[in-house]
Structure 1
Amino acid sequence: MKKIGLIPLRKNSKGIPGKNKKKMLGRPLFSWVLTEAAFSDLDEVFVFTDDTEIISYIEKEYYWNSKIKVLLRSDENATDTASTESVLLEFAKQVDTDFDVLCLLQATSPMTTRHNINAVLNKIEKESFDSALTVVKTHRFTWNTDGTPQNYDVFNRPRRQDFVGLLVENGAVYATTNAAFLKSKNRVSGSIALVEMEEASYTEIDNNADWEIVEKLLASRLQKNKSHQKIDYLVLDVDGVFTDGCVYYGAEGELMKKFDMRDGMGLEILRQYQVEVVIMTSENSELVEQRMKKLQIDNCFLGVKDKYAFLTQFLNHRKASFAQVAYVGDDVNDLANICSVGWSFCPANGTEIVKRHADYVLTNASAEGAIREVCEIIVRNNNRYE
């Protein structure tokens, strides 16, 4: 059974301009559901958009996952008035309805996980429903416009623990069989199954206040899911971690970066304890590449914008988990990893937002022994597992 995912994105957004590309915990909003879809049971994941900037970003950033593809969406189906169903029909035509199950994923639902996606797919594949969608349970009391209650007796108000509540669509995941979709031309039809998601996933992102709420909920969930194991991988940003964050330029471009020799010795000591060092930076710097060769660090990844997705892929390939990782970062593009790994660190001169989310704010600044300090902490931590 061929299962494909569709993430429709529009270039323009009135509520929050450029919403799909705006950074949530340092990552473009759409990348949260895209990464989860990439590691779900879907066979292919299509981003369907009229935004050529997003298309270029995806082609560059997600080359490591062959499941992820992009298609150009027509202008007429990227307007404020275009329905989601019209987008689904256009997409189905472009792929010649070459699927058994079509799964619609909304980029504005960053709380969606691969487990939610798989649960919806299983309703169709294993339980033989025609379609399925995600919902949340709400214990709110609802009313009609004429002043009559919809779901409870005002003279017998139930306690929350005794109230069944209501199931409400959260707009995150929908799936349908090919046959049901072609017959109804609707995202759900026939026998419909429901999959419950956490209530936090119900918050819609319509304005900046909503954005702040969802970002805090997402960070909180990542941090609550943290677990600690023996550290097997130390993942390091470069600028603001290895270096002081300054770059010296001349007529020929980048000339110098400042590194601390004590950091290099710390990494050499750390390798003696079988901890693998990984470099992950958004910049493409020849100076950095040369320095890492000098330090004999083989896992040096340059030009990585979506560090969370890349680290997820790296660990998946190694059959390892975030719990085995220590991460050092200093700025917003490190936030998702800072919130997710077993132990996260921020140099003393890192940005305030990273300091608020890191497990440990170092006493040393970047390029002044911060990495050496991390190495010593990891060695002490790992000794507890001996």
Structure 2
Amino acid sequence: MKKIGFIPLRKGSKGIPNKNKRKMVGRPLFTWVLGEAIFSNLDEVIVYTDDESIIDFIKKEYDWTNKVNAILRSEESASDTASTEYAILEFCESINYNFDVFCLLQATSPFTQSNDINTCLEKLSGDNDSALTVVNTHRFLWNKDGKPINYNPFERPRRQDFEGLLIENGAVYTTTKKALQENKNRIGNNVAVVKMQEESLHEIDSESDWIVVENLLIERQKRSKKSDKITHLVLDVDGVFTDGTITYTKDGEHTKSFDMRDGMGLEILRQYNVEVMVMTSEDSELVAKRMEKLKIKHVFLGVKDKFSLLKMVAKKENISLSNVAYIGDDVNDLTNICSVGWSLTPNNATDVVKQHADIVLSKNSGAGAIREACQFVMNYNKRF
């Protein structure tokens, strides 16, 4: 049974310019749901967009999986007046409905997790031909005529005694091919509901919405953190190995400064069977040569979605994020900082990272911060 995921994206965004590509907790907004779709039970994930920069981004960023495919959608389907159903049907007809189950995922729902997707897929059994995600709200509703909709105000129930209402949160919709062909709609006639957390009801239509959702995501990641024995240390480069500055020569070449003591700390750490990995957004030959000199085998260059890659590495290495220590210094490290077992940051890191890291090191980047972190890992692991 072929299960296909579908994420429609448009360039235009009136409330928040470039909303889909803007960094939410250091990651482009659309990558939150895309990353979860990759690690779900979907067989293929289609990003359907009129933004060619997103297509280029996906081709480069997710070369470690064959599950993602970015397709250029028509101008008609990306217009302000075109419905999501229009885009769905345009795509489905272009592939002759070559799937058994269709799953619509909304990029503006960053709270969606792989288990939400999987549960919606599992609901397509028995009499159910479709499923959607909802939130159980305990708000008291009124109509415009001043009449209560879902409760008796003269017998106001306590929250724990009130069933409330189920409201669509617009995150995940699954349907069978047959139902989609017959109804031309994201849902069919027999719909199952899947509850998600109440925070997933937040929509992102304004700058204040963005701030609320971002803070909720940060807290969600931090609440799920666990700390086990550290088996892997993952490091950013600029602002961690180096002081974050680049020196240019008259010929345009640039140089970076590395602290030799940091290299010794990593060498000692490997003797304690801690795997060292590097993950940086820069694609630099200079960095590659330095890591080769340090005998670091796992070096990932040019990474923009560090969290999805980290999850892939953890899956491949058969470890949990609770076994990972991560050192980063800037906003593109933030999701990893909030998610791993132990997060550390140099003393001269950006304020937002220092605010959320487990440990702010006493040393600056390029001046012994990594060596200090290595000593922490060795001391911490002694308890195991």
* TM-score, L = length of structure 1: 0.98
1:253 Cα offset (Å): 3.2
Is the Cα–Cα contact under 8 Å of residues 15 and 206 in structure 1 kept in the other structure? Answer: yes
Which residue of the partner structure matches residue 42 of structure 2?
42
Which residue of the partner structure matches residue 70 of structure 1?
70
In 2, distance between residues paired with 1:285 and 1:151? 60
Which residue of the partner structure matches residue 152 of structure 1?
151
Alignment RMSD? 0.8
In 2, distance between residues paired with 1:230 and 1:61? 30
In 1, distance between residues paired with 2:127 and 2:5? 19
Structure 1 segment 264-303 matched on structure 2, within 5 A: 264-303=263-302
Structure 1 segment 264-343 matched on structure 2, within 5 A: 264-343=263-342
1:74-111 C-alpha deviation (Å, 9 max, x unpaired):
11111121111111111101221001110000000000
Kindly indicate whether residue 141 of structure 2 is the aligned counterpart of residue 142 of structure 1. Answer: yes
Secondary structure at 2:253 match in 1: strand
Mean alpha-carbon deviation: is it higher for 315-324 or for 364-373? 315-324
Secondary structure at 1:20 match in 2: coil
1:315 Cα offset (Å): 1.1
Secondary structure at 1:96 match in 2: coil
Letter in 2 for 1:194: V
Which residue of the partner structure matches residue 224 of structure 2?
225
Letter in 1 for 2:219: S
Secondary structure at 1:79 match in 2: coil
Is the Cα–Cα contact under 8 Å of residues 27 and 306 in structure 1 kept in the other structure? Answer: yes
In 1, distance between residues paired with 2:138 and 2:331? 36
1:135-154 C-alpha deviation (Å, 9 max, x unpaired):
00000000111111000111
Secondary structure at 2:337 match in 1: helix
1:12 Cα offset (Å): 0.6
Structure 1 segment 91-240 matched on structure 2, within 5 A: 91-124=91-124, 126-240=125-239
Is the Cα–Cα contact under 8 Å of residues 260 and 368 in structure 1 kept in the other structure? Answer: yes
Which residue of the partner structure matches residue 2 of structure 2?
2
In 2, distance between residues paired with 1:290 and 1:157? 69
In 1, distance between residues paired with 2:82 and 2:4? 22
1:43-87 C-alpha deviation (Å, 9 max, x unpaired):
000000000010000001011110100111111111121111111
In 1, distance between residues paired with 2:223 and 2:43? 30
Q: Where does structure 1 lack aligned partners over 5 or more consecutive residues?
A: none
In 1, distance between residues paired with 2:302 and 2:126? 43
Letter in 2 for 1:284: D
In 2, distance between residues paired with 1:136 and 1:192? 15
Letter in 2 for 1:90: E
Is the Cα–Cα contact under 8 Å of residues 237 and 281 in structure 1 kept in the other structure? Answer: yes
Give aligned pairs, total: 384
Secondary structure at 1:78 match in 2: coil
1:309 Cα offset (Å): 1.1
1:128 Cα offset (Å): 4.7
Kindly indicate whether residue 257 of structure 2 is the aligned counterpart of residue 254 of structure 1. Answer: no
Is the Cα–Cα contact under 8 Å of residues 247 and 254 in structure 1 kept in the other structure? Answer: no
Which residue of the partner structure matches residue 359 of structure 2?
360
* TM-score, L = length of structure 2: 0.99
Letter in 2 for 1:84: T
In 2, distance between residues paired with 1:303 and 1:310? 11
1:213-234 C-alpha deviation (Å, 9 max, x unpaired):
0000111000000001100000
In 2, distance between residues paired with 1:245 and 1:174? 44
1:184-212 C-alpha deviation (Å, 9 max, x unpaired):
10111121000000000000000010011
Letter in 1 for 2:355: R
Which residue of the partner structure matches residue 22 of structure 1?
22
1:328-359 C-alpha deviation (Å, 9 max, x unpaired):
00001100100100000110000000001101
Letter in 1 for 2:346: P
1:127 Cα offset (Å): 4.4
1:119 Cα offset (Å): 0.3
In 1, distance between residues paired with 2:370 and 2:100? 50
1:99-137 C-alpha deviation (Å, 9 max, x unpaired):
11100000000000000000000000x445100000000
Letter in 2 for 1:337: N
Which residue of the partner structure matches residue 86 of structure 1?
86
1:263-291 C-alpha deviation (Å, 9 max, x unpaired):
01111110110000001111111221111
Q: 1:42 to 1:138 in 2, by over 3 A?
A: same
Is the Cα–Cα contact under 8 Å of residues 16 and 207 in structure 1 kept in the other structure? Answer: yes
In 2, distance between residues paired with 1:148 and 1:186? 32
Q: Where does structure 2 lack aligned partners over 5 or more consecutive residues?
A: none
